[in-house]
Amino acid sequence: MKKQYKLGVIGGGFMAHAILKGAIYSDFLKPKKIIVADTSQEALDKLKYLGVNTTVNNRDVADNCEFLLFAVKPQNFLAVADSLHGVPVDKVITIMAGVKKQKIKDLLFGDDIRVARAMPNLPCSIGSGVTAVDLSDFEDSVDDCAFVDSVFNCLGNVLGVPEEKLNAVTGISGSGPAYVYMFIDGLIKAGVKQGLTEDEAKTLAVSTVFGGADMVGHSEDKTIDELISAVCSKGGTTIQAVDSFRRDDLYGVIDRAVSACVKRAEELSE
């Protein structure tokens, strides 16, 4: 039986807002084909300008949509699942960190449902993000895979990965923007200490990180080590900073931070 809405969303928070805005502004989905549920009327009011349908009743969403997107905090999922008891749902998308597909199936609709698990990151809110998606449950349907891919393509890049790699994804791209922000903040503070104004240091730091990242993405014929060497000259200025990073074990610092993040994601998946 054809459902009234193409996409139903439970949870109207920041990331749900970003996904809806991207899908609507890119003309991928019409607002009238979307319905969103949230217990907070304030959250729903913030979505009014998008023209989507809203409700405080989770069952209204699950009963009437083809794809059901869970965009709630992992710790709230048990209550949400309880509110949907007995509602038949076939296609599920989840952006809940640490909540495995099997847990969703066990708590909701059984092994017959299909679940796509995705991990978007914060820059998705400005269309410059990356989302890792496990689409293995939908591999027998080209159209369904294309739909899920398109939802996240509206927000930036999409990378297909198996579910068992999603905790590693969390440690790199899911949480990674915070690491980048810290590095930029460090450059700004160092620049100010060296006599620049905060605005000058911010402009230089942001542009340098953006340009450096863009160059890595477009330099398929060069390794990152070769790019580093291209900036360094023997006895010059850059090598002094690079050697300082190496003495302080920068790569080890990064590795330990990512490992701590992934360990926490694994704990949440238990």
Report which residue type is found at 170.
T
Q: Residue 71's pLDDT is what?
A: 97
Q: Residue 37's pLDDT is what?
A: 97
Confidence of residue 84 (pLDDT cuts 50, 70, 90): very high
Architecture of domain 174-269 in this structure = Orthogonal Bundle (1.10)
Joined together, the tokens standing for residue 217 give 């993405």
Question: C-alpha 33: how far from its chain's center?
Answer: 23
Torsion of the alpha carbons at 218, 224, 225 and 231, rounded to the nearest 10: 60
CA separation (Å) from 149 to 36, 69, 87, 220, 252?
A: 20, 13, 25, 25, 34
Contact 137, 112 (CB under 8 A): no
**Helix, strand or coil for residue 13?**
coil
160 CB-near residues (< 8 Å, 6+ apart)? 132, 133, 134, 135
Q: Residue 181's pLDDT is what?
A: 98
CATH 3.40.50.720 fits 5-166, yes or no: yes
Backbone angles phi, psi at 118, to 5 degrees: -125, 150
**Pick from 157, 148, 149, 147: nearest CA to 127:** 157
Give the residue extent of every domain in the chain: 5-166, 174-269
Q: Residue 117's pLDDT is what?
A: 97
Report which residue type is found at 128.
S
Joined together, the tokens standing for residue 225 give 């080590």
Q: Is 70 left (phi over 0), alpha (psi -120 to 50) or beta?
A: beta
Confidence of residue 253 (pLDDT cuts 50, 70, 90): very high
Percent of the chain with pLDDT over 90: 90
CA-CA distance, 69 to 81, in Å (whole number)? 13
Rg (CA), the chain: 22
**Pick from 168, 152, 171: nearest CA to 93:** 152
Backbone angles phi, psi at 38, to 5 degrees: -155, 145
Q: What is the pLDDT of residues 93-141, one digit of tens each?
A: 999 988 999 999 999 878 889 999 999 999 999 999 999 999 999 999 9
Q: What angle do CA 90, 96, 97 make, to 5 degrees?
A: 140
Q: Residue 1's pLDDT is what?
A: 65
**What's the whole-number average pLDDT of the chain?**
95
Q: What is the pLDDT of residues 6-60, one digit of tens each?
A: 999 999 999 999 999 999 999 999 999 999 999 999 999 999 999 999 999 999 9
CA-CA distance, 79 to 191, in Å (whole number)? 48
Q: What is the pLDDT of residues 138-159, one digit of tens each?
A: 999 999 999 999 999 999 999 9
